Amino acid sequence: MEHTVSQEEHLDNGEAKRRRMLSEQEVSVEDGRAPSFQSGLAMSPHEAVQMKGGKGHEMKGGKGQKGGMGMKGGGKGGYPPGMMGMKGGGKGGMKGGMKGGMMDGMPPIGPPMGPPMGPPLGPGMMPPGMGMFGGMPHPDMVPHPGMVGKGSGMMQGYGGGKKGGGRGIGGGPGRGPGVSRTKQNDYCQHFVDTGERPHNFIREPPLAERFDEYPAKKELIQRKDELIEKRATPPVYLQCDLKTFELSPKTLGTKFDVIYIDPPWEEYERRAPGLDKLDTWTWQEIMNLRVEDIADTPCFLFLWCGCAEGLDAGRHCLRKWGFRRCEDITWLKTNKDKDRRPDQPDERSFLHHTKEHCLMGIKGTVRRSADGHLIHANIDTDVFISEQPPYGSTEKPEEMYHIIEHFAQGRRRIELFGEDHNIRRGWVTLGKGLSSSNFNSETYAAYFEGGDGHLDANGNPLDTAPQLVGTTSEIENLRPKSPPPRSQANSQPSKESDA
């Protein structure tokens, strides 16, 4: 007699088969994390779930309710490892896909899952009975207070708002209107709104405190400054009109190792309309200065050229004077002082100018690795930040002197177009804006007597030349040095050959 299988027995057989499959499945629990289930094994009649380390879930935003929740490692969104955290969405809703083997909108298959089957779930696993797709939680599920985020449903698959603003389930803040991280750091928009330049917010301690966190660097700067001060000549200055004054060793008593020029470019007048005191020069007039006649070999020239036509004209001047450009030093000008009248935008520019450039030129040949008595390279950077001068002033920061003196070892330094505030120990200052004079060419030349007898075969000064600052063993141990040329490095025997 044929046996008829009832519906109850058929369900019992199916349940037994499913329990047998679970018992055969390898379950690994590592470091207290959730078990790892291989895809294709259904935790419930609703879905196939693949969890990686029990680390949690991540929701990525997309348009509309498109796709389901991918389960990807994480503990993202404020959950402990293994708990479920969802990251706030992008443009409304969840962009889907099957990262964990779950599909949105899939209709339930059979009744809700009953009691746990097989080995107990780890501490990071979700309790069974939690409906995970179709966009609705199981009715028996009680959400954790920290799981429901602002602007997104509990498990509905909505990313929270028009642009994903608010929080996903346990997720971090979204990027909706009003909470954009980009807007919080938009210094350009802040400049438009308030006039405060972006580099006002760069941490820039004063010179005296700049290297407090770098003891070796601080000691190097201190030792160099002490030696430079000790070897500096008294400050000398000469009031003269550089359009008519003869720049030559005859009138100045010597040639120079360093030449510093801050000419009155026409650009400066455009910044401060209404001020008539500035006697501007055209770049052709600046180029006609006989700078090449007072430049020794080697020599370093520093030329301020603004941020407009001087950038091109300055290079023409360097070539005409016999120099080649080797560096471009940039001054970022802050405007923290609200009481100062700001410079007017240049009518020829397309952008707001908040910086100035100083071109550095070199005459002759100097090797960083072998000519440490002539230059000390890599001590300062080519960018510095300081407050802009008062309206209409062309005064440059004092830090520029430190950069020049730390780098160039020559003691014969001259500045053209100087004013009273430029007078400094170790420098000759020339300019129409000076209020008095004390320069004597013979007296000044006497500080460097005997220099002609301290030259090498190429005509460069030796380290014993009186026109050089010199160095000490402490400075040599502290300062950065360049590696030797390849020819010298290759000629030295290797450690292997010595052995």
The span from the CA of 477 to the CA of 156, in Å, is 67
In the chain, residues under CATH classification 3.40.50.150 are: 225-485
> Residues 6 or more apart from 383 whose CB is under 8 A from it?
329, 330, 332
In a 10 Å sphere around its CB, with 0-12 CB exposed, 13-18 middle and 19+ buried, how is residue 325 labelled?
middle
Count CB neighbours of 112 within 10 A: 15
240, 418 Cβ separation under 8 angstroms:
no
Predicted pLDDT of residue 13: 61
Q: What is the mean pLDDT of the chain?
A: 71
pLDDT band at residue 382 using 50, 70 and 90 as cut-offs: very high
pLDDT at 252 over 80: yes
- String of b and e for 464-474 (b: at least 16 CB within 10 Å)? ebebbbbbeee
The torsion of the CA quartet 308, 310, 316, 320, rounded to 10 degrees, works out to 180
Helix (H, G, I), strand (E, B) or coil at 208: helix
In a 10 Å sphere around its CB, with 0-12 CB exposed, 13-18 middle and 19+ buried, how is residue 493 labelled?
exposed
* Average pLDDT of the segment spanning 136-155: 39
Predicted pLDDT of residue 403: 95
In tens, the pLDDT along 22-69 reads 555 544 434 444 444 333 333 443 333 334 434 434 444 434 344 334
91, 61 Cβ separation under 8 angstroms:
yes
Region of poorest pLDDT, from 10-19, 244-253, 428-437: 10-19
Query: Nearest CA to 133 among 117, 158, 156?
Result: 156
Helix (H, G, I), strand (E, B) or coil at 487: helix
Predicted pLDDT of residue 469: 94
Classified by CATH at the fold level, domain 225-485 comes out as Rossmann fold (3.40.50)
